[in-house]
Structure 1
Amino acid sequence: MGKGDTQEVAQPPTANRFVMEEYGYEVGKSIGNGSYGTVYEAYSRKQKVMVAVKIISKKKASEDYLNRFLPREIQVMKVLRHKYLINFYQAIETTSRVYIILELAQGGDVLEWIQCYGACSEPLAGKWFSQITLGIAYLHSKGIVHRDLKLENLLLDKQENVKISDFGFAKIVPSNHNVRNSPSHQMNCFTHLSKTYCGSFAYACPEILLGLPYNPFLSDTWSMGVILYTLVVARLPFDDTNLKKLLKETRKEVTFPPNLTISQECKNMIFQTLRQAPKRATILDIIKDPWVLKFQPEQATHEIRLLENMCQPPSTANRHQSVEINT
């Protein structure tokens, strides 16, 4: 999150405290500041646990965000319950603000960890990446795409387990967007196309950078490849300071610093995700990859079954490809 007003970060306005106290929350210090508001720690008297409160100012937020993206974020989070996703507890709306109560991850984010400690050991990178894989497999199996995966949106709990956060650009893709005659590499459930260009340039797939209709499921797996590369190398695979240069770099196979010891299996996982869309790994490919399997904390049988069931051929009534226009 970006830096904001120092006074607001120090403590929440009195009006916010009163509203939150009415709902049983004692608001504490700020832990982050975004475009439209601030995130605070709070104590839930009912649940007797610390939580995070995202306070969004309606005056600061755009109408598009308030009317389209925020309702969608809340709608998505209400249906999510997974150990590697930040849990949603409650949303409270007043005339001037929206308060979103979330699970608190007290270990900061993965970007901060990398900035502090440098590249991860491969076992730690494998642990975190396998947790991300399980979380995204759960999302994709429900027909939900994240569309803003990046290190800043990967939070850590006290045990340094990953919690995927920030569903502001997430979207539920209806099941009737499946098509039958898809390329053999990509399964029926991964063929929806979108024209909403979300996320950060450094993590964005080439299709988004080119402004082309893109597959949001495969944009998530591209971002996962950028994340894994950054975990093991401690820098982004592509230079995002110049769009023209960035586009050129994304067309080439990534290279690794010669001074780092990274297994070929790990490199292969990165190569599979940072490919052009027709050959890019889906989440089902990733969750079955031998390198990822080595680090999975538990069997992913449930996630795999959900994904495979989701990818059954649709009825003849739905044999058309759907393109999302600015949604």
Structure 2
Amino acid sequence: MKDDEDNNTEDEKKKKLIKESRTEETNRADSSVRKLKRPLNDNILESQGIIIGKTLGKGSFAVVKCAYDVNRKTKVAVKIISKKEANYEYLNKFLPREMDTMRMCNHPNLISVYQLIETTSRHFIVMEFVQNGDLLELIKQHKHVEEAIAGRWFTQLYDGIAYLHDRNTAHRDIKCENLLLDQHFILKVSDFGFSKQVLKAKSGTVALSETYCGSYAYAAPELLKGIAYNVFLSDVWSMGVVLYTMVYGLLPFDDSDHKKLVKQVQSTVKFPSTPFVSSRCPKIILKMLAKHKVRVNLKKLAQDEWFKEQYERRESGPPPEFPSPIKQMTLDSFVAGSSKMQDTHLEAESCDL
């Protein structure tokens, strides 16, 4: 009887061990399946110390996600670009230009880019997270921007664009949606997807561009008419549209009808009677929204009385305080004409800027 009891005990132990072993194998298998189901993006970014969070915005071939950078101990934004979904011209011409510009940028009024990562199927751009959204959303929420605050932000826009122009680079897509506000409401220029480096001749002349890109409402007349244009002067025009939009709370031109828009931009811009702005503000806007032959460049713009007054004033006084606008980012801004392709690519899998 005792031998039978011992045998039964041994059998029970064996069954228990087999059951535990199978349970362990099942758990390992389930764990492997869970790992396989995790997005490959997360694994790549986590290996760089970047923990992905919620989606901030989506486009046709890109998504922007909020993330936490363990190494820098700060919140960041990560733009993920699909090589399979993006078109050839964007991947081989505009994206390389954008990355070249981002590598060059080191200015408080330009979005900081921390890291570029490339895989066989995607590009990852790790950049500064700006929590107060874009200027357009703020204008929509508050109807317009008080002149003193508009002056502060316009001079910050000036500094950021002047930094690019001094390095022979034009932005080519300046608009309120691409002007972001950080936690201290400091304006930062973003989205360098249409940026282009243009070398000046010894005589000071600039090679004209024939790539027509950007947004109609902010585009200079020469660009809308489809003729070759000076990229630096077209940036100045767009800056004029931004300032007008800030102080008056509306765009200076109606972009719903292209023929009507072309006619409008060739006429003198009209200013509404309200809200009230000082007499000097429309004068500087007129200098920017002028025909390209008489339009001011950035150096002459800095000599304007309104500009000098605003530049001096911004150095003192408290920063503006606004409630953060609710924002959903949009990334479908790619519109471009045909021109020669630029054969540039990232040289490394991951590169810290």
| TM bracket (short chain) | 0.7 to 0.9
Cα deviation, 1:191-226, whole Å, max 9, x if unaligned, reads: 331101110011000111011000000000000000
Q: CA separation in 1, counterparts of 2:142 and 2:340?
A: 40
TM-score by length of structure 1 reads 0.83
Amino acid at match of 2:180: L
Q: Equivalent residue for 2:286?
A: 271
SS at match of 1:84: coil
Q: CA separation in 2, counterparts of 1:138 and 1:41?
A: 27
Q: Which residue, out of 6, 15, 24, partners 2:40?
A: 15
Q: Equivalent residue for 1:192?
A: 207
Which aligned pairs between 1:31-50 and structure 2 lie closer than 5 A? 31-50=56-75
Give 1:295 shift: 2.1
Amino acid at match of 1:17: D
Runs of 4+ in 1 over 4 A off after TM superposition: 324-327
Q: CA separation in 2, counterparts of 1:282 and 1:129?
A: 15
* CA RMSD across the alignment: 1.7
Q: Which residue, out of 119, 124, 132, partners 2:157?
A: 132
Greater C-alpha Rg: 2
SS at match of 1:108: coil
The answer on whether the counterparts of 2:248 and 2:274 sit within 8 Å (CA) in structure 1 is no
Amino acid at match of 1:104: F
Q: Equivalent residue for 2:269?
A: 254
Are 1:220 and 2:221 counterparts? no
Q: Which residue, out of 129, 153, 156, partners 2:178?
A: 153
Q: CA separation in 1, counterparts of 2:189 and 2:69?
A: 22
The answer on whether the counterparts of 1:91 and 1:101 sit within 8 Å (CA) in structure 2 is yes
Q: CA separation in 2, counterparts of 1:147 and 1:35?
A: 21
SS at match of 1:28: strand
Gaps of 5+ in 2: 1-37, 317-337, 342-353
Q: CA separation in 1, counterparts of 2:281 and 2:87?
A: 41
Q: CA separation in 2, counterparts of 1:325 and 1:286?
A: 31
The answer on whether the counterparts of 1:137 and 1:287 sit within 8 Å (CA) in structure 2 is no
Q: CA separation in 2, counterparts of 1:116 and 1:15?
A: 38
The answer on whether the counterparts of 2:240 and 2:289 sit within 8 Å (CA) in structure 1 is yes
Q: Equivalent residue for 1:304?
A: none
Q: Which residue, out of 209, 212, 219, partners 1:204?
A: 219
TM-score by length of structure 2 reads 0.77
Change (3 A) 1:325 1:66: closer
Identity percentage of aligned residues: 46
Q: Equivalent residue for 1:5?
A: none
Give 1:179 shift: 5.0
Q: CA separation in 2, counterparts of 1:155 and 1:264?
A: 28
SS at match of 1:278: coil
Q: Equivalent residue for 1:183?
A: none
Amino acid at match of 2:117: I
Q: Equivalent residue for 2:201?
A: 178
Cα deviation, 1:252-274, whole Å, max 9, x if unaligned, reads: 11111123211111101100000
